[in-house]
Chains A and B, each alone.
Chain A
Amino acid sequence: MPDQLIFGMEVFLNGLMAGVLYALVALGFVLIFKASGIFNFAQGVMALFAALTLVGIMEGEVPFSHLINAVFGTDVHNFGWTVPALLAILLTMAVMVLLAWLVNKLIFRHLVNQEPIILFMATIGLAYFLEGFGDMMWGSNIKKMDVGLPQGINDWIDAATFDIFGYGFFIDNLDIVATVVAALLVVALIIFAQYTKQGRAMRAVADDHQAALSVGISLSFIWVMVWSLAGFVALVAGIMWGTKSGVQFSLSLIALKALPVLMLGGFTSIPGAIVGGLIIGVGEKLFEFTIGPMVGGATENWFAYVLALIFLVFRPQGLFGEKIIERV
Chain B
Amino acid sequence: MKLKLITAAVAVLMAAGPAMADLTFSILSYRTGPYAPNGIPLADGQADYFTLINERDGGINGEKINVVECETGYNTEKGVECYEATKGEGVLVYNPYSTGMAYQLIPKVTADGIPLHTLGYGRTSAKNGKVFSNVFNYPANYWDGASHAVSHILDVNGGDISGKTIALVYHNSAYGKEPIRTLEELAKKHGYNLTLLPVDHPGQEQKSQWLQIRREKPDYVLMWGWGVMNQVAIQEAANIRFPMENFIGIWWSASENDVQPAGDASDGYKALALHNVGDDYPLYEDLQKYVVDAGKAAGAGDQLGTVLYNRGLYTAMLSVEAARTAQKIHGTNAITPAMMRDGMEALEMTEAKMAGLGLPGFGPEFKVSCENHGGNGFGAVSQWDANAGKWSLITDYVQSDQDIIGPLILEDSAAYAAEAGITQGCN
Chain A interfacial positions (CB closer than 8 Å to B): 7, 10-11, 14, 17-18, 66, 69, 77, 132, 135, 139-146, 151-153, 170, 172, 241, 244-246, 248-254, 257, 285, 288-289, 292, 296-298, 300-301
Contact = CB atoms under 8 A, between A and B. Distances in A.
Contacts of B209: 297
23 contacts: A7-B215, A10-B211, A140-B31, A142-B231, A151-B239, A152-B239, A153-B239, A244-B204, A244-B232, A245-B232, A245-B261, A246-B261, A248-B34, A248-B228, A248-B231, A250-B228, A253-B204, A285-B207, A289-B208, A292-B208, A297-B209, A300-B200, A300-B208
Contacts of B37: 140-142, 248-249
Q: What 8 pairs between A and B have smallest CB-CB spacing?
A: A246-B261, A250-B228, A298-B198, A140-B36, A298-B172, A301-B200, A250-B34, A288-B208
A253 B202 contact: yes
Interface in B169-212: 172, 196-202, 204-205, 207-209, 211
Contacts of B257: 141-142, 246
Contacts of B227: 250
Nearest to A143: B261
Contacts of A253: 34, 202, 204
B58 interface: no
Interface in B226-257: 227-228, 231-232, 235, 238-241, 257
Interface in B82-112: none
Given A142-B231, A292-B208, A152 B238 contact: yes
B78 to A, nearest CB: 15
Contacts of A145: 261
Contacts of A66: 300
B197 to A, nearest CB: 6
B205 A300 contact: yes
Contacts of B211: 7, 10-11, 14, 170
Contact of B214 (A170, A245, A250, A289): A170
Taking each of A7, A151, A241, A244, which has the highest tally of chain B beta carbons within 10 Å of its own beta carbon? Answer: A244
B51 to A, nearest CB: 17
B159 interface: no
B288 interface: no
A298 B172 CA distance: 7
Interface string B135-173: 000000000000000000000000000000000000010
A249 B235 CA distance: 18
B414 to A, nearest CB: 26
Given A142-B257, A151-B235, A245-B232, 17 more contacts: A11-B211, A18-B205, A132-B32, A135-B36, A140-B36, A141-B257, A142-B231, A146-B263, A153-B241, A172-B239, A245-B204, A246-B261, A250-B202, A257-B204, A257-B205, A297-B196, A300-B208
Nearest to A247: B261
Taking each of B199, B205, B215, which has the highest tally of chain A beta carbons within 10 Å of its own beta carbon? Answer: B205
A99 B381 CA distance: 46
Interface of B: 31-34, 36-37, 40, 172, 196-202, 204-205, 207-209, 211, 214-215, 227-228, 231-232, 235, 238-241, 257, 260-261, 263, 265, 300, 302
A285 B209 CA distance: 10
A249 B39 CA distance: 13
B171 to A, nearest CB: 10
Nearest to B302: A77
A298 B199 contact: yes
A66 B36 CA distance: 15
Nearest to A70: B300
Nearest to A21: B205
A140 B231 contact: no
Contacts of B172: 297-298
A168 B28 CA distance: 49
A247 B235 CA distance: 13
A140 B32 contact: yes
A7 B208 CA distance: 11
A296 B211 CA distance: 16
A49 to B, nearest CB: 14
A245 B197 contact: no
Taking each of B201, B240, B261, B265, which has the highest tally of chain A beta carbons within 10 Å of its own beta carbon? Answer: B261
A170 B240 contact: yes
B36 A245 contact: no
A21 B31 CA distance: 29
Nearest to B39: A140
A151 B235 CA distance: 9
Contact of B200 (A10, A153, A298): A298
A250 B204 contact: yes
A287 B400 CA distance: 38
A165 B261 CA distance: 34
Contacts of B205: 18, 257, 300
A144 B231 CA distance: 10
A297 B212 CA distance: 11
A43 B29 CA distance: 28
Contacts of B240: 153, 170
A24 to B, nearest CB: 13
Contacts of A144: 260-261, 263
A151 to B, nearest CB: 6
A152 B241 contact: yes
Contact of B207 (A7, A18, A252): A18
A254 B196 CA distance: 25
A14 B236 CA distance: 13
A168 B263 CA distance: 26
Contacts of B31: 140
A249 B208 contact: no
Contacts of B201: 301
Contacts of A152: 238-239, 241, 265
Contacts of B208: 11, 14, 285, 288-289, 292, 300
Contacts of A297: 172, 196-198, 209
A257 B206 CA distance: 13
A142 B261 contact: yes
B382 to A, nearest CB: 19
A127 B153 CA distance: 45
B235 A245 contact: yes
Contacts of A251: 204, 228
A139 B36 CA distance: 10
A1 B198 CA distance: 29
B32 A135 contact: yes
A11 B202 CA distance: 21
Nearest to B38: A142
Contacts of A244: 204, 232, 235
A175 to B, nearest CB: 9
